[in-house]
Amino acid sequence: MQYFIQQLINGLTLGSIYGLIAIGYTMVYGIIGMINFAHGDIFMIGAFIALIVFLALTSLFYSVPVVIALLIMMIVAMLMTSLYNWTIEKVAYRPLRGSFRLAPLITAIGMSIALSNFVQVTQGPRNKPIPQMVSRVYEIGGISISLKQIIIVVVTAVLLTLFWYLVNKTSLGRAQRACEQDRKMAALLGIDVDRTISITFIMGASLAAVAGTLFLMYYGVVSFSDGFVPGVKAFTAAVLGGIGSLPGAVLGGLLIGFIESMWSAYFSIDYKDVAAFSILAIVLIFLPSGILGRPEVEKV
Amino acid sequence: MAGKALLDIKGVETYYGNIRALNGVDVSVDEGEIVALIGANGAGKSTLMMTIFGTPRARSGSIVFNGTDITQMPTHEIARLRIAQSPEGRRIFPRMTVMENLQMGASLDNLKYYDEDVEKVFHLFPRLKERIGQRGGTLSGGEQQMLSIGRALMARPKLLLLDEPSLGLAPLIVKQIFDAIRELNRTQGLTVFLVEQNAFGALKLATRGYVMVNGNVTMSGSGAELLANPEIRAAYLEGGRH
Ligand SMILES: Nc1ncnc2c1ncn2[C@@H]1O[C@H](COP(=O)(O)OP(=O)(O)OP(=O)(O)O)[C@@H](O)[C@H]1O
Ligand SMILES: [Mg+2]
């Protein structure tokens, strides 16, 4: 039982990171109907920027409180990845809006390769480690919870709450949902659709940057290829939860996290990725639109 | 005519791909008028309504609103000049509640006048008030029509475009809507340009009317003139709803 709870906690930690990334996939899909394959690389770039900020901070100051360091890392990573994603949307995707469906998809795959190669060339192909930032571990009834895990879950919960509020209760969120449901009508009501789409890319990038920072803090290492596997898993999470659905992205992320940690704990660590994807395949056979996705039929 | 032209459409041609849907349309709507556009299915009425908003864009000709040339202006900026439309197909946001749909209508002023204006809309369509929390996609056709008109009114328009406001509504509700349009026109000077299949009702309501055939305006005149015209009676009125 203790072991099980331990795995649950590990799964929750992983799942939080996947969930944060998955939101970017699902929001972009919701608003322009395209899978932004470069999103995993945006996450990786977020982790790299956090790394660079960390190195800068530790070389500039004798000691920086960890909370402050993490906060600065996150904020700078959010700003920079937002700039990246905003530019990518404007330069690579917007001109293709309204062309055939596969065009933006192919461009996104190209963007993904370009970004990871760019990081490989500028930062080098090797793993980049940082020293342990947070090392405290709490033992409660035989279960160990690290402070890192607590930070990840708390930061994710706070962000998701803010994000939920933004999407459901503000005029910006309403405009986003309107563009998602009927872009032309939104424009007839005075909504600047291009701007709303840009903001969606910025929001997705910000959450991915936080996920990247948390990833770096948790594993203490990042490499140029780290966008791929977490990116694909987060995408899987988004599909599993129902692409286009925000709660679905979070739920899917948590599920993938749980499946992965349970599988590694009880079966074999080697096949953990296969397990996650097999579950996806099975779910999609029975629930083609994902767990919380809406079925295609709709009045109107 | 009363006042200056609020909307002036000159020689507008609109294409869908290579197919021309409007062949040089001239229409003007003066401030304070109610103008009706009638015509058979596929004549190009909805195309004209949407061309005013630049979606689709006119390939040639000009559209001037309140002295500003809007022919090439982005759609959302045209809306910000206070032109509102209840478009063909109603285009209610299906996964938003009635309230959120109305809030979308009020987004130009960032909900500043929302509370005040929503009461006016509820006064016109009490049914919407009962349905305030219901999702747009689950409303009945008539309720969606009311919501679409209500949402357009929430924008505090100078010019209101209505594409078949009576479509799918019970005769009593149609009368209510026409009465409401007349009332808004009289008390607030709201200018209205509407497309109608219900030609009789529309021409009775309108100060002036235009008749569109195959992408051309073939006739225009005061509502009463058009109503009395034998050709129009034969084409659009006889056997129609009286
Ligand atoms: N998106 C489109 N793509 C191609 N052709 C279109 C499109 N929309 C309209 N058309 C064509 O343009 C012509 C005018 O259509 P429009 O919808 O403006 O007619 P309408 O007068 O509003 O008819 P109705 O009374 O049936 O609503 C029609 O021949 C129609 O088939
Ligand atoms: Mg029409």
Contact A256, A211 (CB under 8 A): no
Q: What is the pLDDT of residue B242?
A: 43
Q: Which helix (H) or strand (E) holds B21?
A: strand B19-30
User: Whole-model pTM?
Assistant: 0.90
Q: Which of A185, A246, A292, A297 is the mutation pick for testing B, counting most B CBs within 10 A? A: A185
Inter-chain residue contact B94 with A189, CB threshold 8 Å: no
Residue A131 resides in a domain: yes
Residue A50 resides in a domain: yes
Q: Give percent above pLDDT 70 in chain B.
A: 96
Q: A263 pLDDT exceeds 90?
A: no
Ligand 1 close to Cβ of residue B44 (< 6 A): yes
In this structure, which residue's CA is closest to atom 14 in ligand 1? B44
Mean pLDDT of the A99-109 span: 88
CA A108, CA A92: separation in Å to the nearest integer?
8
In this structure, which residue's CA is closest to atom 4 in ligand 1? B16
Closest ligand 1 atom to B40 CA: 25
Sort residue B217 into left (φ over 0), alpha (ψ -120 to 50) or beta.
Answer: beta
Residue A137 has a CB neighbour count (10 Å cut-off) of 11
* Confidence grade of residue B239 (pLDDT, cut at 50, 70, 90): low
**CATH 3.40.50.300-classified regions of chain B:** 1-82+158-242
Residue A89 resides in a domain: yes
Q: Give percent above pLDDT 70 in chain A.
A: 98
Residue A298 resides in a domain: no
**A181 to chain B: which residues are within 8 Å by CB?**
93-96
Inter-chain residue contact A181 with B93, CB threshold 8 Å: yes
Residue A7 resides in a domain: no
A144-A147-A150-A154 Cα dihedral, nearest 10 degrees: 170
Q: Which of A172, A188, A193 is the mutation pick for testing B, counting most B CBs within 10 A? A: A188
- DSSP letter, residue A294: P
The amino acid at residue A46 is G
Sort residue A280 into left (φ over 0), alpha (ψ -120 to 50) or beta.
Answer: alpha
- Find the radius of gyration of the CA atoms of chain B: 17
The pLDDT tens digits for B16-46 are 999 999 999 999 999 999 999 999 899 999 9
Mean pLDDT of the B103-108 span: 94
Q: What is the pLDDT of residue B238?
A: 63
* Confidence grade of residue B241 (pLDDT, cut at 50, 70, 90): very low
Pairing of strands B34-39, B19-30: unpaired
Q: How far is A286 from chain B (nearest CA, A)?
A: 24
The pLDDT tens digits for A166-197 are 999 999 999 999 999 999 999 999 999 999 99
Inter-chain residue contact B95 with A299, CB threshold 8 Å: no
Ligand 1 close to Cβ of residue B21 (< 6 A): yes
Mean pLDDT of the B61-89 span: 96
With the most atoms of ligand 1 within 8 angstroms of its CB, the residue from B38, B47, B164, B167 to mutate is B47
Q: What is the pLDDT of residue B37?
A: 96
In this structure, which residue's CA is closest to atom 26 in ligand 1? B41
The neighbouring-strand residues paired with B20 are B15
Q: A298 pLDDT exceeds 60?
A: no
Domain B1-82+158-242 has CATH 3.40.50.300: yes
| Ligand 2 centroid – CA A228 distance (Å) | 48
* Confidence grade of residue A295 (pLDDT, cut at 50, 70, 90): low
**A298 to chain B: which residues are within 8 Å by CB?**
94, 137
* Confidence grade of residue A300 (pLDDT, cut at 50, 70, 90): very low
In this structure, which residue's CA is closest to atom 28 in ligand 1? B42
Which domain range does residue A214 map to? 14-227
Give B177 or B131, the one with higher predicted confidence: B131
The pLDDT tens digits for A192-226 are 999 999 999 999 999 999 999 999 999 998 999 89
Q: What is the mean pLDDT of chain B?
A: 91
The pLDDT tens digits for B77-105 are 999 999 999 999 999 999 999 999 999 99
Q: How far is B79 from chain A (nearest CA, A)?
A: 5
| Ligand 1 centroid – CA A183 distance (Å) | 19
The number of domains in chain A is 1
Mean pLDDT of the B103-131 span: 93
